[in-house]
Amino acid sequence: MAVIQKYGKNYSYDLVCHKENHPSDKIGAPGCHKKWPEHTTWSRPVARVWTVVLLLGTCLLYCARVAMPICAVSMAEQFNWSKRESGMVLGSFFWGYCFTQVFGGYVSDRVGGEKVLLLSAAAWGSMTAFTPILAHFCSQPILSMTLARFLMGLLQGVHYPSLASLCSQKVVESERGFLMSTVGSGSYLGTLVIGGAGSLMLDLYGWQSVFYASGLLSVLWAYCMWKYLLKGEGPIITLESLGSGGPQSKLSKRHWLRLLKQPAVCAVIVTHLCTASTFFTLLSWLPTFFKDTFPNAKGWVFNVIPWLVAIPSSLFSGWLSDHLISKGFDTASVRKLMQCFSMGVSSVFTLLLCGNTTFPWAVAFVSATMGLTTFSHSGVSVNVQDLAPSCAGALFGVMNTCGAFLGVLLVYFSGYLIEATGSWASVFALITTVNLLGLCTFLAFAEARRVDIDCSKVRHHDIHI
C-alpha cells in the first residue's frame, strides 16, 4: 500500500472536512467527504463565446451604473438638488449593492451563475430604462431617484459573485485567469463607453437619453443571452434548488471566526475596504468636479481619457505582477508593491488636484490616479486567493460588502464636505487619507501564505491509495 504524504505548504484540502461516511469516496482522508457534484465544463470555443458575451454584459453593467453620476449635474439643475441631496442619490446605490454580494454567490452556486446573471440583467436594465419616467411622474424626484438607485444596487450586487460561481463551475482551472481578467476589463470599457457616448447624448438629447439607451441595450443583451446561449431555457429558481448543496465547501462558524482572527485576513479586508470605497467616491464625484471647476470643458474629454488609460494600465499590472513572481520575487512583496502603486503613488496625483490646475493638467492627474488604482487587481484582490483559496469567493464577498458600506458613507460625506467647505480639496484629502490608511495596514500585515488550514494538524496528512 503506497502512502503519499502532504506537507505544510503543499496541503491542498479545504478548511472543513465533513465527517460523513460515503461509500463513493474512494480516495480521501478517513472521515472526510470530498465528493463534489460534477459540472460539465465548456469547450474552448464555447468558453470564448461566453467570454465575449460576459465582457459585453459587464460593460453594459457599468454603462447603467455610471449613467447616474454622468447625468447628476443636469438632474440636480432640473430638480434643484443640493450637493448633499446629490450625494444621497449617488450613495444610495451602494446601500443596495452591499446587501446582495453573499446572497448572489449563494444562489449562483446552487442554481447556476448564468441564471442569476440573466435575471438580474433583465431587472437592472429595465430599472435603468424606467429611471426618467420615475423622475418625471413622481412628485418627489429626490425620493424616487434614491429608491431607484438603491434597487439598482441590489440588482447589480449579484453580478460579480455570479461571475465567480459560473467561472468555477464551467471553466477549467487553467483558463479561468484569462476569462476573469478579460471580463473584468469590461468595467473600464463600460465606463469609457458611457463616458464618451453618454456625454455626447447628454449634450445632444438630454439626460433622459442616457438612461434609455443603456437600459434598453442591457435588456437586449439579456434577451440574446437567453435566446442563443441558454437556448430559451427558462431561468427558473425554486426553493428546492436553493436548498440543494453546491460545490462550495460549507465553512462552520468556528472556522470562520478563526480565519477572521488572522492578521493577514484582517489586513486584506481593511485594504480592500479602503481602495474600493475611494474608487467608488472618485467614480461618483469626478464628473461633478470637472463640471464645477471647468464649466466650459467638453464632457467627453474627462469622461473618456481616464478610462483609456485604465484599461492598458490594468493589463500591464497583471503582466508585471506575474513576471516578477516568475522571476523568483517573493509573492507577498509583489502584492505589496502593486498596492503601493495603487494606493500610494496614485494618492500623490490625487493631492495634486487640490491646487489650482488647468484643465489639461487636471485630466492628466485624474488619468494617472485612475490608471494606478487598477494595480490593486494584482495586489489585494489577488491576495485573498493566496490566503484562503478554499473560501476565496465567500471572503471576497465579505470584502466587497465592507467596501460598499464605506463607499456609501464616503460618497455622502464628500457631498457634505463640498457643501460645507466650498472646496474640492477637502474631498481629495479625505480620499488620500483613507488610501494611506489602507496601504499602511497592508504593508504591515499582508502575507501570501495559506491561512485557511491548520498547518499544525495537517503537516503530516496521509492519503492511502
pLDDT in tens, 291-320: 888 888 877 788 788 888 888 887 788 778
The tens digit of pLDDT for each residue in 63-117 reads: 999 999 889 989 999 999 888 888 889 888 878 887 888 788 777 767 777 888 9
Answer yes or no: are the C-beta atoms of 422 and 367 closer than 8 Å: no
Q: Which one-letter DSSP state was computed for residue 342?
A: I
Q: How confident is the model at residue 158 (pLDDT cuts 50, 70, 90)?
A: confident
Question: Could you tell me if 430 and 410 are in contact, meaning their C-beta atoms sit under 8 angstroms apart?
Answer: yes
Tell me the sheet residues that pair with 4: 463
Q: What is residue 351's predicted lDDT score, i.e. its pLDDT? A: 93
pLDDT band at 45 (very low <50, low <70, confident <90, very high): confident
Is the torsion defined by CA of 366, 191, 71, 204 positive or negative? Answer: positive
Give φ, ψ of 101 to 5 degrees.
-60, -60
**What is the average per-residue pLDDT within 434-445?**
94
Whose grid coordinates read 492627474? 365
Residue 240 clears pLDDT 70, i.e. is over it: no
| 373 or 39, which is more confident | 373
376 grid coordinates: 490593486
Higher pLDDT among residues 330 and 249, named by residue: 330
pTM comes to 0.69
Q: Is the confidence at residue 162, as pLDDT, over 50? A: yes
Grade residue 465 by pLDDT with cuts at 50, 70 and 90. Answer: very low
Say how many Å lie between the first and final Cα of the chain, rounded.
6
